[in-house]
Amino acid sequence: MSDPAMSEPVLSVRNVEKSFGGIRAVRGVSFDVRKGEVLGLIGPNGSGKSTLFNCILGQLPPDAGEVSVNGRKVSGMRASQMNRLGVGRTFQQLSVFPKMTVLDNIILAGQEHQGTMLSRLFGPADAGLTEEAERLIAFFRLTHLRDELAGSLSYGQQKLVDAAMAFMAGPGLVLLDEPAGGVNLTMLAHFKERLAAYNVEHGTTFVVIEHNMEFVMSLCTRIIVLAEGAVIAEGTPDEIRSNQTVIDAYLGG
């Protein structure tokens, strides 16, 4: 594997600012993410993680600054356009389609990348994706739930379906917003192992927001710590663990 620091950044965030009234939620945050990296974005509640995420993904327009994916400016782009550029994401809240089967959920996540609007109307019902969807479902070990309605699964299983959808279109970059939230320990270990395996198999770049420290520290290769909307520390999990500024920010020192 080549040195990731040498390659063009997959995601580049430059001086992003966002205020809500008098509150400066994000204050000039900049960072790069290189191909194959698993970047953790952590910080206490209200540190601006989710706002930053939404600014990156076009859910919120940033007041200033620039976001590029593979060198292409994506500020102001619609979420569906970003997805077609190869950016997958999950949401903090569970976001599956409850009245569709697991298989349909996964096929939906890939179908808009196949052909044109018209070819999808007149083409096969599954847009030719059943096999690929089944492979992904098997990867997340959900095969026995293939034909169940997503809404009838347990919370942890739905979380897996939700994550699997973000991978269906074969994205180069996936942003995960609190993937571990509310997932039981058994399921969590399985989930983390699958994410790590996906990263190794496909070289997909990850950005992960997470509160579960154990999850972040063991999954991520690099961590950025936000507090009050600004980056206060950056480094490997070990460096972050022993960083006094980070400890102070978390303990309110």
Partner 1 sequence: MRGLSLHRSWRLLLIVALLAAAILLPLGQKNYFIYVLTSWLIFTIAAMGLNLTLGYAGQISLAQASFMALGAYTTALMTLAGWHWLVSLPVGLTLCFVVGLVLGYPALRVKGHFLAFVTLAFNTLVFLVLRNEEWLTGGTYGLSGMPRPEFGSFSTDKQLPFYYFTLGVTVLAALGLWAIVRSPWGRAFKALRENPIRAESLGVDTRRFTLLAFAIGSAYGGLAGALVTPLVQFIEPGSFGLAHSLRILLMVVVGGAGYFFGPFIGAAVVILLPEVLRFTEGYYLIIYSALVIVMLVFVPSGLIGIFGKLRARFWPRRQVRADMAEGARLP
Sites of contact with partner 1 (CB under 8 A): 57, 78-80, 83-84, 89, 91, 95-100, 104, 107-109, 111-114, 117, 120-123, 125-127, 141-142, 144-145, 147-148, 152, 154, 156-157, 165, 168-169, 184, 186-187, 190
Cβ proximity to partner 1: between 157 and 205 the closer is 157
State in angstroms the smallest separation of the CB of 157 from partner 1: 6
Q: Closer to partner 1 by CB, 99 or 135: give it.
A: 99
Measured in degrees and rounded to the nearest 5, phi and psi for residue 21 equal 60, -120
Report the residue number, 13 or 82, with the smaller CB distance to partner 1: 82
Closest separation between CB of residue 228 and partner 1, Å? 28
8 A C-beta contact, residue 178 and residue 209 = yes
| Phi, psi dihedrals of residue 44, rounded to the nearest 5° | -65, 170
Per-residue DSSP letter, 76: T
Tell me, what DSSP letter sits at residue 99? Answer: T
Q: Specify the residue, 4 or 123, whose C-beta has the smaller distance to partner 1.
A: 123
CB of 153 to partner 1, least distance (A): 8
Task: Calculate helix-pair angle for 130-139, 102-111, nearest 10 degrees.
Answer: 120
Say if residue 89 is exposed, middle or buried (CB neighbours under 10 Å; 0-12, 13-18, 19+): buried
Given the complex with partner 1, which of 91 and 250 has the nearer CB atom? 91
**Residue 25: C-alpha distances to residues 57, 87, 119, 231, 232 (Å):** 16, 24, 44, 12, 14
Question: CB of residue 59 vs partner 1: minimum separation in angstroms?
Answer: 8
The amino acid sitting at 19 is: S
Cβ 108 to partner 1, closest distance in Å? 5
